[in-house]
Structure 1
Amino acid sequence: MARAASIDTRIARIRKAHKKVKALERRASSLQRRLEAARRRLQALFGGTAARGGRKARRVRRKVARKTKTAKRGKRILSAAGRASIRRAQKARWAKFRAAQAGAGAA
Structure 2
Amino acid sequence: MSSKTIELNFLGQVLRLNCPEEQHDSLREAAKLLDSRVTEMKDRTGILQVEKALAIVALNLSFELLQEQHKTHKTENVLQNQIEQLTRSLESISASTPTQQASYSID
TM-score in terms of structure 2 length: 0.44
Greater per-residue helix proportion: 1
If asked which structure has higher relative contact order (CA below 8 Å, sep 6+), I would say 2
TM-score in terms of structure 1 length: 0.44
Greater per-residue strand proportion: 2
